[in-house]
Structure 1
Amino acid sequence: MPLPRPSPAAPGTLGVTRGIALGVLAALVFLLLAVIGLSAGLHGRVYRRVRVSKQLRGRQLRSHRRRPGPHALVLDEDEPDKVP
């Protein structure tokens, strides 16, 4: 005697349920990635601010613009066309 097969609630319901489940799963993955990205971005910003404030504390809060170092390209004002 064959076992009776359970009938679905309505034809096509399984596809809709699977689509909803996949949509919810995709939304959860997207939210997880967004939270990870935001926390990494905020951590980087806070870390940069702490590092700059430590540098400023040692320099008596001077402006923290980058000054050109010895590697910077310096053109002679007398001969602007000549490149060293």
Structure 2
Amino acid sequence: MRILWTLPYLPWPTTSGGKTREYHLLRNLAARGHRITLLVQSKNPLDDDARAALEPWLERLIVIDRRPLLSLRTLLAV
């Protein structure tokens, strides 16, 4: 099965329960033969450690920059 997985944060490093859960779900689904594309919004650029930890389990990794919320106007801007 092909899966598009979207997250508001990178699941690596596993520094919280949510990140740990997402990483292990990703890893286990990939180990069962599912093809996963991960779409992530991130405040920080993707570093080499995170890329090395995630790419073996993914068909594709897409990281979109998330701009900071400075005001309600920023939230509503399109």
Decide which structure has greater strand share: 2
Give the TM-score taking structure 2 as reference length: 0.24
TM-score, normalization: structure 1?
A: 0.23
* Structure with bigger gyration radius: 1
Query: Could you say which structure has the greater relative contact order, defined with CA pairs below 8 angstroms and 6 or more residues apart?
Result: 2
